[in-house]
Amino acid sequence: MTPTTEKFGNLRPTNPAILEWVTHTASLTQPDVIFWCDGSEAEKNYLLEQSIQQNILQPLNQTKWPGGYYHRSHPNDVARVEQCTYICTETAEEAGPTNNWADPKEMYQKLYGLLKGSMRGRTMFVVPYLMGPPGSPLSKVGIELTDSLYVVLNMRIMTRMGEVAYRHITEENGFNRGTHSTLDCHPERRFICHFPADNAIISVGSGYGGNALLGKKCLALRIGSALGRRWGWMAEHMLLLCVESPEGEKSYIAAAFPSACGKTNFAMLIPPKSFEGWKITTVGDDIAWMRPGPNGRLYAINPESGYFGVVPGTNMQSNPNAMRSMEKDTLFTNVAITPDGDVWWEGKDNPPPKDLLDWKGNPWDPKSGEKAAHPNSRFTAPMYNNPVLAKEADSPKGVPIDAIIFGGRRATTMPLVFEAFNWTHGVYIGATVGSETTAAAVGVMGQVRRDPMAMLPFCGYNMGSYFRHWLNMRHHIAILPRIFHVNWFRKDTEGNFLWPGFGENMRVLKWIVQRCKNTIGAIEAPIGWMPRYQDLDWKGLPEITPEKFAQLMKIDTKEWLHELMLQDELFMKIYTTLPKELVYQRELLIARL
């Protein structure tokens, strides 16, 4: 095990705790070389060259996709694996019944066994990264040790990587220790493990983004949520966007939706033509870290600096800003490619070109019924490519949140939009979110499961304590954000979507912003405040007639009583830690219905 002798890979930090940990990990995993990343452009080019030589990346047609590269993952390694994801706390109670729990000592032992010699013949990259804008009190440092070049190149886009991270390490905050080894990618040797007490993560056996880019789900959400609870802030699975009115008034919205429910689309929304002067800009598309600010408001930052978005269904109609974000310096994973280095996926603007190779590398037969691109194929793009990136995305102070939106993918029951009566009711609404499962995680698709605050796979501690933390936050925020619930996915009896979605969601967003400013009406319904037909701006959308709107907003008592029974499944599971306020909210709702 030697440090690299090449021109690159020599940024040695001086912090003894880092050096000791790296030496310890290297003596366990026994890499041939330690490569200390500096995050520079020159280093990136060197690593790209190496990736091409090692067949990890394939350059795309550089005229069509400047700086674009293609990666095909192991076919058994294409999504998050919740069954292999563990929270390792002293007691099982701390992790709670919605997480897989393992005893930290036993898990460390098992993982050290798997890591022993796992990097022999390989390079161990030391990746220092900062989550959040430089200089922000909310930002955190992580260091990832990985044997995957693909991971390094993705981390370079998704985080602020390099020297800047070492500069942000403080005595008080320390740094997160992340160890990642791809091993042989065998599902039986796949473990994504979190040790909140040690601010540490060990992930083995997978190269998939959600399992291997340790800054994202592992640090920013699972470890982050545990740290947030301890220190009085919140790590949430939320996009962040800014709505600017024609008068130049800005409102900031945080919105939680389960994976693959259109968060990236919503974060980059383009208002309909009739909304002249209204503008949406993106602060973040997946994760928000929020903490009460000195003026009594809740401030949020996006800890990431890139997008790791689902590709299928993305086109110039559904999300032109995502398409533009991919135009350069983007990594594509598991889409289909053409012999001349172009990429294609289901739902791209053009029909499938000839001679496609599918995501597994086989010639694709359009009549086969198989998908050419994997349904969870992804693009990794720098946020700076986004034409509507909010300038606040780099603001150390963050943005003051006016409204929080929860949503799920629901064919029935849930109306287009409603507003909580107050914070506690809003927490209840978030805690009971249900959504149909998608391809972002391995498992059966399309089944409704409870996904509280869209955090079911990401909450790093007991879900009941997490609800308690949410309820407690109201004591620390003088000006509370309003809380809303939306559903873009309601269907009619024939199975057609009732709502056009995409840019038209602006109509709902406008009502939400107006509610926050107390400038628009609503009626009190059993489930919350709801807009009347005349409360939404329908200019340019004549197809939503008052009758159709009534269908979209319908509260069917029978469906709701069934919904309440389904909610019970989660509430029973976490009953010992479930805050009583939420049980009362449920009773009140039943009484109102």
Interface with ligand OXD (CB under 6 A):
80, 210, 259, 286, 308, 440
- Residue 123, SS3 per DSSP: strand
CA pair distance 434, 429, nearest whole angstrom: 10
Per-residue binding letters, 139-158, with Mn ion (x by CB under 5 A) = --------------------
Catalytic: which of 37, 261, 459, 516? 261
Q: Which residue is nearest to ligand OXD (CB)?
A: 259
* Residue 372 or 454 with smaller CB distance to ligand OXD: 454
Q: Which amino acid is at 414?
A: M
Cβ partners under 8 Å of residue 238, min gap 6: 254, 255, 256, 284, 286, 287, 288, 300, 404, 454
Q: How crowded is residue 20: how many other Cβ atoms within 10 Å of its Cβ? A: 10
Selection from Mn ion, ligand OXD, none that 462 binds (CB < 5 to 8 A by kind) is: none
Least distance from ligand OXD to the Cβ atom of residue 80, Å: 5
Using rule CB under 5 A, residue 236 touches Mn ion = no
* Residue 259 or 380 with smaller CB distance to Mn ion: 259
Using rule CB under 5 A, residue 304 touches Mn ion = no
CA pair distance 120, 130, nearest whole angstrom: 28
- Stretch in the footprint of Mn ion (CB under 5 A) among 228-236, 255-263, 371-379, 557-565: 255-263
Contact 131, 217 (CB under 8 A): no
CA pair distance 549, 301, nearest whole angstrom: 35
CA pair distance 19, 12, nearest whole angstrom: 8
Least distance from ligand OXD to the Cβ atom of residue 427, Å: 21
Least distance from ligand OXD to the Cβ atom of residue 211, Å: 10
Selection from ligand OXD, Mn ion, none that 183 binds (CB < 5 to 8 A by kind) is: none
Selection from Mn ion, ligand OXD, none that 210 binds (CB < 5 to 8 A by kind) is: ligand OXD
Least distance from ligand OXD to the Cβ atom of residue 51, Å: 22
Q: How many residues bind Mn ion (CB under 5 A)?
A: 2
* Residue 402 or 451 with smaller CB distance to Mn ion: 451
Selection from ligand OXD, Mn ion, none that 379 binds (CB < 5 to 8 A by kind) is: none
Q: Measuring CA to CA, which residue among 87, 80, 106 is closest to residue 205?
A: 80
- Identify the H or E element spanning 33: strand 33-36
CA pair distance 375, 370, nearest whole angstrom: 11
* Residue 286 or 537 with smaller CB distance to ligand OXD: 286
Selection from ligand OXD, Mn ion, none that 410 binds (CB < 5 to 8 A by kind) is: none
Buried b (16+ CB within 10 A) or exposed e, 362-390: eebeeeeeebbbbbbbbbbbbbebbebbb
Selection from ligand OXD, Mn ion, none that 160 binds (CB < 5 to 8 A by kind) is: none
Q: Choose which of 286, 392, 394, 419 interacts with Mn ion (CB under 5 A).
A: 286
* Residue 334 or 413 with smaller CB distance to ligand OXD: 334
Selection from ligand OXD, Mn ion, none that 205 binds (CB < 5 to 8 A by kind) is: none
Tokens matching residue 10: 């020599």
Selection from ligand OXD, Mn ion, none that 440 binds (CB < 5 to 8 A by kind) is: ligand OXD
Tokens matching residue 351: 């029909």
* Residue 123 or 259 with smaller CB distance to Mn ion: 259
Tokens matching residue 115: 């890591």
CA pair distance 148, 183, nearest whole angstrom: 10
Least distance from ligand OXD to the Cβ atom of residue 217, Å: 7
* Residue 454 or 536 with smaller CB distance to ligand OXD: 454
**Which backbone phi and psi does 372 adopt, to 5 degrees?**
-75, -45
Q: How crowded is residue 587: how many other Cβ atoms within 10 Å of its Cβ? A: 10
Q: Which residue is nearest to Mn ion (CB)?
A: 286
Verify whether residue 218 is a known catalytic residue. Answer: no
* Residue 124 or 455 with smaller CB distance to ligand OXD: 455
Least distance from ligand OXD to the Cβ atom of residue 549, Å: 31
Q: Measuring CA to CA, which residue among 194, 177, 181 is closest to residue 143?
A: 177
- Identify the H or E element spanning 129: strand 123-131
Strands (E) located in 469-563:
482-486, 523-525, 528-530
Tokens matching residue 143: 């260091």
Least distance from ligand OXD to the Cβ atom of residue 254, Å: 15
* Residue 221 or 427 with smaller CB distance to Mn ion: 221
* Residue 221 or 512 with smaller CB distance to Mn ion: 221
* Residue 261 or 373 with smaller CB distance to Mn ion: 261
Burial (CB count within 10 angstroms: exposed 0-12, middle 13-18, buried 19+), residue 519: exposed
- Stretch in the footprint of Mn ion (CB under 5 A) among 144-152, 285-293, 347-355, 459-467: 285-293
Least distance from ligand OXD to the Cβ atom of residue 98, Å: 16
Selection from ligand OXD, Mn ion, none that 224 binds (CB < 5 to 8 A by kind) is: none
Selection from Mn ion, ligand OXD, none that 80 binds (CB < 5 to 8 A by kind) is: ligand OXD
Least distance from Mn ion to the Cβ atom of residue 258, Å: 8
- What separation, in Å, do the N-terminal and C-terminal C-alpha atoms of the chain show? 67
Contact 124, 146 (CB under 8 A): yes
Site for Mn ion in 106-125 (CB under 5 A): none
State the residue for tokens 């620390």: 476
Contact 485, 528 (CB under 8 A): yes
Least distance from Mn ion to the Cβ atom of residue 376, Å: 11
CA pair distance 63, 66, nearest whole angstrom: 6
Selection from Mn ion, ligand OXD, none that 470 binds (CB < 5 to 8 A by kind) is: none
Least distance from Mn ion to the Cβ atom of residue 286, Å: 4
**Which backbone phi and psi does 340 adopt, to 5 degrees?**
-95, 25
Buried b (16+ CB within 10 A) or exposed e, 25-50: bbebbbbebbbbbbbeeebbebbbeb
- Stretch in the footprint of Mn ion (CB under 5 A) among 165-173, 281-289, 405-413, 430-438: 281-289
Tokens matching residue 347: 């739902």
| Rg, the chain, Cα only | 23
Residue positions annotated with a catalytic role: 261
| Contact positions vs Mn ion (CB under 5 A) | 259, 286
